[in-house]
Structure 1
Amino acid sequence: TGDAWPRKEVRQARLEECVSVISRLLDGETVSHDGLVTVHEATLWEVADPKPKLIAPAISVPTAVRGAAWADGLATINQDPGTLRDMLSAWDDAGGADHKVLQVHVSWAPTDAEAYELAYDQWRSNVFSPPACWDLTVPAFDAVSKEGISAEQIHRSVVVSSDLSELASRIHALAELGFDAVYLHHVGQDQRPWLEAAGDRLLPQLTS
């Protein structure tokens, strides 16, 4: 603790060491490991059956390809459809497991203006593509100031609409790129209005 934010390649290597340790623990082993992480005689006294899946998080093609070597599935977020197609294709070409999930960031409110303002207020620090997003270490960067973020960037990163039918159509289009499951993340702080609207009027459109 207290170290500087590590480079992307160091974080990736650390993740892969942790994956190895966790996988062995889930197999019932007692694990010791010395590397970017240190583990001394770790043991799980109760092992889950079936063994939980270890899912690779990725928002770029190179990271997806690297994760295909070890993961039981791929998890990513809504991006440009072309980028998502490239990632899914690269994952498959690298021998990745047949389990792919997508998290979709959504901003819904009774009006489009309110939905946009909500996305802007709560999610403008999360609009950057790789490699910039890999190295944002604090939320106070000038890049996330009100002057630094465009409406186009917000709409690329968050599905913004007051129209639940439009949301359903856009979510369907993303799912049909080749994902097995879609997880919806509403970016607002007050979740109750969203959950009520989604439960009553959005989910029936997604499951029909």
Structure 2
Amino acid sequence: MTEYGYFLSCEEFTPAELLEQARRAEQAGFTRLAISDHFHPWNDAQGNSPFVWSMIGALSQTTDLPVTTLVTCPTVRLHPAVTAQAAATSSVLLGGRFTLGVGSGEALNEHIHGDRWPSFDARAAMLEEAIEVMRELFTGRLVTHRGRHYTVDNARLYTPPTGPLPIYVSGFGPSAAELAGRIGDGFVTMTPDTDLVKSFRDGGGAGKPVIGGVKVCWSTDRDKAVDTVHRLWPTELLPGELAQILPTPSHFEQAGRLVTREMISDSVTCGDDADEHAKTVRAYAEAGFDEVYVGQIGPDQEAFFDAYRQHVLPMLRS
């Protein structure tokens, strides 16, 4: 049976707001939490970027729900050994209820050291090696690794995970889905694409979880909701590899001007039609997803949680 979680957006909300959303999500009946990992927001209107590992520590003291990163890049901004330490501590704090979702990253967050932004093939190879390094460290044994991309010299996690720490791999195309099937414990993708799920399953992912996320804007004023999405998240509709290669929020603001209000109205679930919201989320379950994370765009969080508690989640579970 598909589980329904809440998506905490570090790009749009302050640390205090994210913690309050986590509390409200648990009260509303969501059974899991996901949280994004960004150094920058997509645009200045979103205006936030709290450090995800600090947030997970705070979440461990705020809620009993499992937490998944959607997603962390363990290859450029942070060395995989450092990411492994952060993930292991998160797992211990959460009593084993932590999943490390990883991806090959976006230049938006990873360019900050001034390194050259690699091609997808290079990033995929870096991700595969990083996962190997992290899994070795999760054992708590002394690790020395000298690979093509990373060196680890006599490193040991003295606070390792107390149990399994699954690593789910993100992908948005067939090659990435096949990679996730081969090296991941699960697959992360943001659209209910049955072909991608099949590529993951055929690539070695048979029997492994598939998880995804979707952003909506609940509001009694649909036009206002469309405006809110158009202002804050036009990046959701940018095509192709733009989200991976543009380096700064100002570049995304420029690209976002290509996204019209009509495109938002046609593509993003806005308004207060509970049936429409349930249909949007249910599409993931129908595509074979095991977990779906819903994020509310904009400030009207109270109305969203009330509506999903009273109407949408019961519809999904019925």
TM-score by length of 2: 0.58
Partner of 2:259: 149
Change (3 A) 1:143 1:194: same
| Structure 1 segments of 4+ aligned residues over 4 angstroms from their partners | none
Residue 46 of structure 1 corresponds to: 159
Mapped to 1, the partners of 2:206 and 2:159 lie a distance apart of 26
Question: Tell me, what secondary structure is at the counterpart of 1:137?
Answer: coil
1:18 maps onto 2:130 in alignment:
yes
How far off is 1:96 after superposition? 0.9
Contact kept? 2:181, 2:202, Cα under 8 Å: no
Residues 20/200 of structure 1: CA separation in 2 closer, same or farther (3 Å cut) = same
Name the residue aligned to 1:135: 245
1:42–1:161 distance in 2 versus 1, CA, 3 Å: farther
Gaps of 5+ in 2: 1-112
Aligned-residue identity in percent = 29
Report the counterpart of residue 92 of structure 1 in structure 2: 201
Report the Cα offset of residue 122 of structure 1: 1.3
Offset at residue 182 of structure 1 (A): 1.0
Looking at structure 2, the residues matched to 72 and 177 of structure 1 have their Cα atoms a distance apart, in angstroms, of 19
Match of 2:140 in 1: 28
The alpha-carbon deviation at position 119 of structure 1 amounts to: 1.2
CA shift at 1:109, angstroms?
1.3
Task: Could you tell me which runs of 5 or more consecutive residues in structure 1 were left unpaired when the two chains were aligned.
Answer: none
CA shift digits 1:90-143 (9 cap, x unpaired): 111112142111211212211211221121111112322332222122121221
> 1:187 corresponds to which letter in structure 2?
I
Mapping for residues 1-208 of structure 1, pairs under 5 Å: 1-34=113-146, 35-78=148-191, 81=192, 84-98=193-207, 99-141=209-251, 142-145=254-257, 148-151=258-261, 153-154=263-264, 158-208=268-318
How far the C-alpha of 1:178 sits from its partner, in A, is 0.6
Q: Which residue of 1 aligns with 2:94?
A: none
User: 2:13 — aligned with what?
Assistant: none
Contact 2:169 2:188 in 1 (8 A): yes
> Distance between the aligned counterparts of 1:180 and 1:55, measured in 2?
13
Counterpart CA distance in 2 for 1:128 and 1:195 is 28
Change in Cα spacing, 1:152 to 1:136, as seen in structure 2 (3 Å) is farther
Counterpart of 1:11 in 2: which secondary structure? Answer: helix
- Mapped to 1, the partners of 2:230 and 2:285 lie a distance apart of 25
* Structure 1 residue 153: Cα displacement: 4.2
The 3-state SS of whatever aligns with 2:294 is strand
How many residue pairs get matched?
A: 202
Q: 1:102 to 1:151 in 2, by over 3 A?
A: same
SS of corresponding position for 1:77: coil
Query: Given the two structures, how large is their TM-score scaled by the length of structure 1?
Result: 0.86
For 2:234 and 2:151, how far apart are their aligned partners in 1? 36
> Does the CA contact (< 8 Å) of 1:73 and 1:97 recur in 2?
no
Moved more, 69-78 or 92-101: 92-101
Alpha-carbon distance between aligned partners in 1 of 2:282 and 2:165, rounded to the nearest angstrom: 28
Instruction: Please tell me whether the aligned partners of residues 125 and 139 of structure 1 are also in contact (alpha carbons under 8 angstroms).
Output: no
Distance of 1:152 and 1:8 partners within structure 2: 32
Give, in whole Å, the separation in 2 of the partners of 1:85 and 1:199. Answer: 28
User: Kindly tell me: are residues 33 and 174 of structure 1, through their superposed partners in 2, closer, same or farther at Cα, counting changes over 3 Å?
Assistant: same
Partners of 1:191 and 1:37 lie apart in 2 by: 42
SS at match of 1:179: coil
Structure 1 contact 64–91 (Cα < 8 Å) conserved: yes
Name the SS for the 1:143 alignment partner. Answer: helix
Supply the RMSD in Å over aligned alpha carbons.
2.1
